[in-house]
Amino acid sequence: MRVVRQYERGVVFRFGRVEPGTTRAPGIVLLWPFADRLTKVNMQIVTLPVPAQDGITRDNVTVRVDAVIYFRVVDPVRVAVDVQDYLSAIAQLAQTSLRSIIGKSDLDDLLSNREKLNQGLELMIDTPVVDWGLHIDRVEIKDVSLPESMKRSMSRQAEAERERRARVITADGERQAAATLSAAAETMSDHPASLQLRLLETVVEVAAEKNSTLVLPFPVELLRFLERVTPEENQAPTAMDRVAAGSAPPHPLRDLTGSTARNRSGLRSTARVPVRPRARPRSRRRTPARATWR
């Protein structure tokens, strides 16, 4: 009398031979003394870790990859008869398949396209184990270890890529801002009063902070606008207008740039001053030396 658990199946060898239909279900199993031998097979899903394997990818990068396999028994008779140690057999097959998949893949695929690699690895392992009475449920690549030099290179590459994107985004923003400012400048040039309104809005925004000092810029465009809207008869004559009319003062006028040479030339052209001849210096007479007489 033997007891088979719920997650197990019993394979009975009668005089060393497995008879068809001799697989025992869970419960109490009656055996013939000295004739039957019972072998229990676990039907649960088994998790088998694959040791880390060193390999070289297709783009000549040394990596270290480990994986994990999930499988279960579907035919207890084949497992008990055809394979001596199915756990060891699957472990060796998984290591060989993992090395093969590393050599056929690129580094980018190992890092970003793992789902495809998992499917390929599962197909490579599941094909031979079907004849053993096993079924591979899932294969997962756990970790990919890279050398330190490769990690530094990849970090520099990622940093350069992000810096490139930042520069492109900044340049695009500046281009859009320049186009918008150009359109705003054209609108303000057509309507000069808009510049005055924009200036008043700026003053209101600054005054909202309640600062003790208020800087108020006075644009040149506002002066031009006021000059255009002011009638000509109300404008006071400027200094240049007085010079052109002949009512300029006799003394030289200094212009806005402070040039003295221009004022002197204007003075010579407007006023005639008599030039006094320069006095010649008086010559000293030499007194003859006294003659010595003997």
**Under 8 Å between Cβ of 42 and 8:** yes
Give pLDDT tens digits for 59-86.
Answer: 888 888 889 999 998 888 888 888 888 8
Tokens of 204: 């209101």
The reported pLDDT for the residue numbered 234 is 53
Pairing verdict, β 36-42 and 8-14: antiparallel
The reported pLDDT for the residue numbered 59 is 83
Taking residue 187's Cβ as centre, other Cβ atoms within 10 Å add up to: 11
At 30 the three-state DSSP class reads coil
Residue burial 141-170, b: 16+ Cβ < 10 Å; e: rest: beebebeeeeeeeeeeeeeeeeeeeeeeee
The reported pLDDT for the residue numbered 166 is 92
**Cα–Cα distance between 243 and 248 in angstroms, integer?**
5
Residue burial 48-75, b: 16+ Cβ < 10 Å; e: rest: eebebbebebeeebebebbbebebebeb
Residues with pLDDT less than 50, the chain: 243, 248, 250-271, 273, 275, 291-292, 294
Taking residue 293's Cβ as centre, other Cβ atoms within 10 Å add up to: 4
CA 55 to chain centre: 31
The reported pLDDT for the residue numbered 81 is 84
The reported pLDDT for the residue numbered 193 is 75
Would the CA dihedral through 102, 105, 107, 111 be positive or negative?
negative
Taking residue 47's Cβ as centre, other Cβ atoms within 10 Å add up to: 11
